[in-house]
Amino acid sequence: MNPNEPTREALLAALRTIMDPELNCNIVDLGFVLELECRKGIVEATMTYSSPGCPVQGILTSAAQTVLAQVPGVSEARVNVVWDPPWTPERITPEARARMGMR
Amino acid sequence: MGLAVLCLLGGVVLLLAWPDLLMAYHYQPRTIALAHLFILGWLLTMAMGAAYQLVPVAMATALWSPRLARAHFAVHVTGLIWILWGFATWQLKQVGHGGSLLFLGALFFLVNVDNTMDRARRLNVVSVSIATALFWLLLTMLIGLLMSFDRLRPFLRINPVNQAHAHAHLGLLGFFLLLVTGVSYKLLAMFLVGPGPSRTRPWVAYGLLNAGLLGTALTTLAGGIVRPAFALVTALGIVGYLWEVAAMVCAGRRRPDAAPIGFLAALALLIPTAALGGWVSVAERSDVALVARLENAYGFLGLMGVLTLATLSMGCKIIPFLAWFHAYGPHLGRRPVPAAADLFLPGVLQGSLLASFAGVFLATTGMATANFTVLHAGLFGLGIGVLLFALNVANAFRHMARPRLGPEPVKMDGFHHG
């Protein structure tokens, strides 16, 4: 592995700084990040949101691209939004569910 | 939306100054002017303002024509002032002029929102409810214009009070209630992190509401003994809708916080409102004073109870979100930003909802029991609630004017520190 390549943990840590404004939880713990790959400094993230009509998907996608591009070792960040498989609340981590008081 | 809140504040101040209006027969100039201040100045302005903001956000696109929206605002404000002055001074020709401007503004709004949604049109109970609500809005406004023309040159041959009742029901049930039901299916799923509406029940409720509304309006105009039957159909539609809402709440994974709780409580007021409406539709007119008071209580509970409290409650979610979207959305991921909920002070939010609900309950009770002390207490409580809501709105607007951003991250040794 190239020592200059960012680690998956570093990429996820960057994405964890992005909070959904309504749920007040980061997008990783919400289960919005489906896949994360890095090859030769190019990061490709596959994401989804709670529904196609989610009003903040544009902002969250742009923010994800910004924070990924700022991680040392990343030369380019791409974010793809998909709707299949559809997001469900089960994708939220147990810790995040407990923090949000969810059933 | 700022204009809407100002109209709400102004209306409540006038209610505090003229509480006797709520005890007297409602078909008189000041009462009608005040009702239209709340309906057109507060509720309609709020609904249109929210739609201009939320529809582009939900469609992930820009508003089709910001210039048309600005033209609409100018026409709307002018029409609003004109119509209110016309009602207050009972100059129905001026009511017609003001109403014509408002109708023109509504057409601007319809064209703009329709073109904005064009790119992502989906046929579901949410979009159909909203489209139907807009149809009832235009019909209500047209009928209003016909009514004012009829008072100048009589041609309708329908009792003016019946015209007013039909016009009110078409507007409040047809536009506002249908809009609330349609939008609520979307918002509840979002805020409660749950599934969307079910397949059948929302459509049944939609059908019953529209059939009941149409029948109620026609039988109100024409008179007749079947009006209670249509009132019952409308009530069944309301029951169907509330059943669906209850199912969505149970299926939601997130416990509702103050704003959704307030919204649900406002929806629950549909039950006593429908009961009062049903009673009024069959009541004997022998006790004129009692019927007048209960008619006022019915109108007040529907307008200030269901619609205003539902709008206030959802406003406590929508307004901070929209303010956050504009103030902080572009900075997300670049600098630390507050959460959307931080734009409304939580204690003030809870206080505004509690005071407003208590106020509406007391005022309605005071009207129904002819108790001026209880009525005054209720109006005072409602005033406090609305004032607190306005303070929170001002706080959210302050964030838009001067966003409170955290420091830019500092680059050290190849790592970012926020």
Alpha-carbon torsion (B102, B103, B106, B108), positive or negative: negative
What's the CA gap between B89 and B98, in Å, rounded?
A: 13
Q: Between chains, do A55 and B193 touch, taking CB under 8 Å as contact?
A: no
Is B152 buried (19+), middle (13-18) or exposed (0-12) by CB count in 10 A? exposed
Asked if B407 reaches chain A (Cβ–Cβ under 8 Å), the answer is no
pLDDT digits (tens, 9 = 90+) for B84-136: 999 999 999 999 999 999 999 999 999 998 888 775 667 889 889 988 999 99
Q: What is the mean pLDDT of chain A?
A: 91
Asked if B67 reaches chain A (Cβ–Cβ under 8 Å), the answer is no
Q: What is the ipTM of this complex?
A: 0.91
Beta bridge pairs of residue B170: none
State the pLDDT at residue B412: 43
Distance from CA of A89 to the nearest CA of B (A): 7
Provide mean pLDDT across the span B160-164: 87
Q: Between chains, do A63 and B333 touch, taking CB under 8 Å as contact?
A: yes
> B413 pLDDT exceeds 50?
no
Q: Between chains, do A103 and B333 touch, taking CB under 8 Å as contact?
A: no
Asked if A4 reaches chain B (Cβ–Cβ under 8 Å), the answer is no
Torsion, CA B332, CA B338, CA B339, CA B345, rounded to 10: -150
**pLDDT exceeding 70 applies to what percent of chain B?**
96
State the pLDDT at residue B414: 40
User: Are residues B339 and A24 in contact, defined by beta-carbon separation less than 8 angstroms?
Assistant: yes
Q: Helix %, strand %, coil % for chain B, to 5?
A: 80, 0, 20
Asked if B249 reaches chain A (Cβ–Cβ under 8 Å), the answer is no
pLDDT digits (tens, 9 = 90+) for B33-59: 999 999 999 999 999 999 898 888 777
The b/e string for B406-418 (b: 16+ C-beta within 10 A; e otherwise) is: eeebeeeeeeeee
pLDDT digits (tens, 9 = 90+) for B376-394: 999 999 999 999 999 999 9
User: Which residues 34-53 of A are in CB contact (within 8 Å) with B?
Assistant: 50-51, 53
This prediction's pTM:
0.91
Residues of B in contact with A97 (CB under 8 A): 253
Among the partner-chain residues B57, B189, B334, the one whose CB lies closest to the CB of A66 is B334
Residues of A in contact with B58 (CB under 8 A): 53, 55
Nearest to residue B84, comparing CAs of B38, B49, B134? B38
Q: How many Cα atoms sit within 13 Å of B175 on the Cβ side?
A: 23
Q: Between chains, do B321 and A22 touch, taking CB under 8 Å as contact?
A: yes
What's the CA gap between A74 and A26, in Å, rounded?
A: 21
What's the CA gap between A1 and B93, in Å, rounded?
A: 81
Which H or E run contains A89? none
Q: What is the mean pLDDT of chain B?
A: 90
Q: Between chains, do A21 and B415 touch, taking CB under 8 Å as contact?
A: no
Provide mean pLDDT across the span B306-330: 94
Which H or E run contains B97? helix B92-117
Distance from CA of B57 to the nearest CA of A (A): 5
State the pLDDT at residue B222: 84
State the pLDDT at residue A2: 61
Which residue has tokens 């302005």? B45
What's the CA gap between B266 and B177, in Å, rounded?
A: 12
Asked if A102 reaches chain B (Cβ–Cβ under 8 Å), the answer is yes
Confidence of residue B62 (pLDDT cuts 50, 70, 90): confident
